[in-house]
Amino acid sequence: MILCDLCGEAKECLPRHIEGKEYDICSVCWSPFAQKLKGKGRKARELETVFLPPWPKEPEPPEPKHQPGHPPKIWGAAGKRPRIV
């Protein structure tokens, strides 16, 4: 049994949070108090669907010149031999 903060009688009270403070209020006192508070405070907004823009695509990284595990590519002119003097 807890003392009700509104009527002061020892009853089964539940903790209620009102404006950041905690009060012990019995069910007999809470019903009219809740009716008085009804409609006050923030109005509940309806849920809305929000569409986000698509993620920007990142450019693909260039392929490395030499891949590990493979022999490097050798670029040169075909058919010509260098002259050795």
Q: Using only C-alpha atoms, what is the Rg of the chain? A: 39
pLDDT for res 7: 85
pLDDT tens per residue across all 85 residues of the chain: 788 888 888 888 888 888 888 888 888 888 887 888 777 777 777 888 999 998 888 877 776 666 777 777 776 666 666 666 6
Residues 6+ apart with CB under 8 A from 66: 72, 73
- Which residue range(s) make up the domain with 11? 2-37
How many domains does the chain fold into?
Answer: 1
Closest among 8, 35, 30 to 17, alpha carbons compared: 30
For residue 8, being part of any structural domain is answered with yes
Under DSSP, the state recorded for 27 is H
pLDDT for res 71: 78
For residue 17, being part of any structural domain is answered with yes
Place of tokens 């009804």: 38
Q: What is the separation, in whole angstroms, between the first and last Cα of the chain?
A: 112
For residue 20, being part of any structural domain is answered with yes
For residue 76, being part of any structural domain is answered with no
